């Protein structure tokens, strides 16, 4: 049975841990606010870009040169580039484990294809590096300060590989931010570029041929999808960490209450034993 000193030491240790988890929750909450603002600000741009892409694609459909863009070429998916976006730090609940499981499940579903990983984030990199997976690139510390130039470089690399027919498809795996308590695991195909089917039938006046504008819009669309995935993942990471740290803080409070109750019982038992010994000694002296 642990002594009072051991129990007090454990209570003190749990209180110290509780202070750490509480501080991490507050830090994640502050970072989440900024990340959430960036996601909300980026979504209208991505939506408008997709709408404009649909309208330009509809206008360029009558042009025979519109289908010659190498990013629109469709081939059997024998060589796939899977871009996995994880976090650089842990203590975020099941945030990273769900992403890694989704990547493994994707690899299992495409056994007949050669899956190469482009890893964004330290956790995914460490996991697949230990398992000798096919890795084409590693990118860490991007989520701390998400920048369009960083993800654009990754997107351009993927587009170059696809244009040169070195790969047949590019997929993104990331957590999409929904709310503080909900993140959606998303697996989406980026290349070959999917032309939106619906268009608003806006009567544009084109200074350049629609086919040329389509060739310029598609790379920008792919770069935007990569950047949006990083922004969504960053916001979802902070939300998951804040939720996990809040749960850890609550669990620490419950553990402190249980340990305090147990300590009081042990102390009461010790006092009762000492009283019995004193009374027994006095009775024996008589």
**Mean pLDDT in the chain?**
84
Q: Is residue 75 part of a domain?
A: yes
| Over residues 174-192, mean pLDDT | 86
Q: Is residue 93 part of a domain?
A: yes
- Give the range among 160-169, 182-191, 203-212 with minimum mean pLDDT: 203-212
Quick one: pLDDT at residue 180?
Answer: 81
Summarize pLDDT for 33-78 with one digit per residue, the tens: 888 888 888 888 887 887 777 777 766 665 555 556 787 778 888 8
- Statement to judge: residues 162 and 82 lie in one domain: yes
Q: Is residue 222 part of a domain?
A: yes
- Statement to judge: residues 151 and 229 lie in one domain: yes
- Give the range among 92-96, 102-106, 276-280 with minimum mean pLDDT: 276-280
Confidence of residue 83 (pLDDT cuts 50, 70, 90): very high
- Statement to judge: residues 90 and 179 lie in one domain: yes
- Statement to judge: residues 58 and 16 lie in one domain: no
In whole angstroms, how large is the CA radius of gyration of the chain?
28
Nearest to 229 by CA among 275, 282, 184: 184
Q: Is residue 253 part of a domain?
A: yes
- Statement to judge: residues 237 and 253 lie in one domain: no
Helix (H, G, I), strand (E, B) or coil at 16: helix
Confidence of residue 113 (pLDDT cuts 50, 70, 90): confident
- The CATH code of the domain that includes 160 is 3.40.1380.10
Query: Does the pLDDT value for residue 254 go beyond 80?
Result: yes
| Over residues 129-141, mean pLDDT | 87
Quick one: pLDDT at residue 60?
Answer: 66
- Statement to judge: residues 179 and 122 lie in one domain: yes
Q: Is residue 211 part of a domain?
A: yes
Q: Is residue 155 part of a domain?
A: yes
Helix (H, G, I), strand (E, B) or coil at 69: coil
Quick one: pLDDT at residue 201?
Answer: 56
- Statement to judge: residues 114 and 103 lie in one domain: yes
Q: Is residue 286 part of a domain?
A: no
Give the residue carrying structure tokens 């995914």: 124
- Sheet with 114-120: list strands edge to edge: 135-139, 114-120, 79-85, 169-179, 182-191
pTM: 0.81
Percent of the chain with pLDDT over 90: 13
- Statement to judge: residues 255 and 181 lie in one domain: no
Q: Is residue 285 part of a domain?
A: no
- Statement to judge: residues 104 and 176 lie in one domain: yes
Domain coverage including residue 273:
4-22+244-280
- Statement to judge: residues 133 and 117 lie in one domain: yes
| Over residues 183-204, mean pLDDT | 72
- Alpha carbon dihedral 146, 149, 154, 155, in 10-degree steps, equals 110
* Distance set, CA 124 to CA 62, 99, 117, 172 (Å): 44, 8, 10, 13
| Over residues 225-233, mean pLDDT | 90
Contact yes or no for 90/123 (Cβ under 8 A): yes
- Statement to judge: residues 233 and 248 lie in one domain: no
| Over residues 152-160, mean pLDDT | 90
Contact yes or no for 143/87 (Cβ under 8 A): yes
- Statement to judge: residues 86 and 73 lie in one domain: yes
User: What's the domain count of the chain?
Assistant: 2
158 or 3, greater pLDDT: 158
Query: Does the pLDDT value for residue 174 go beyond 90?
Result: yes
- The CATH code of the domain that includes 13 is 1.10.287.80
């Amino acid at each position: 049975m642990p002594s009072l000193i051991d129990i007090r030491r454990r209570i003190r240790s749990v209180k110290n841990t509780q202070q750490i988890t509480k501080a991490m929750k507050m830090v994640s909450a502050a970072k989440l606010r900024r990340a959430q603002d960036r996601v909300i600000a980026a979504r209208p741009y991505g939506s408008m870009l997709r709408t404009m892409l649909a309208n330009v694609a509809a206008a360029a459909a009558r042009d025979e040169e519109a289908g010659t863009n190498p990013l629109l070429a469709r081939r059997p998916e024998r060589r796939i580039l899977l871009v996995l976006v994880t976090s650089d730090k842990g203590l975020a609940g099941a945030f990273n484990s769900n992403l890694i499981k989704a990547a493994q499940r994707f690899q299992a579903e495409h056994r007949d294809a050669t899956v190469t990983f482009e890893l964004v984030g330290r956790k995914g990199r460490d996991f697949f590096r230990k398992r000798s997976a096919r890795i084409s690139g590693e990118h860490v510390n991007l989520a701390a300060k998400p920048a369009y130039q960083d993800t654009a470089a990754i997107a351009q690399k993927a587009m170059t590989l696809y244009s040169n027919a070195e790969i047949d498809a590019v997929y993104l795996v990331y957590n999409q931010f929904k709310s503080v308590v909900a993140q959606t695991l998303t697996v989406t195909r980026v290349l070959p570029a999917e032309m939106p089917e619906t268009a608003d039938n806006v009567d544009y006046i084109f200074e350049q041929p629609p086919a040329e504008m389509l060739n310029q819009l598609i790379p920008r669309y792919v770069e935007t999808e990569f950047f949006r995935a990083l922004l969504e993942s960053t916001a979802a990471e902070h939300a998951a960490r804040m939720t996990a740290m809040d749960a850890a803080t609550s669990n620490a409070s419950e553990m402190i209450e249980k340990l305090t109750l147990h300590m009081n019982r042990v102390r009461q038992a010790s006092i009762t034993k000492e009283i019995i010994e004193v009374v027994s000694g006095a009775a024996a002296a008589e």
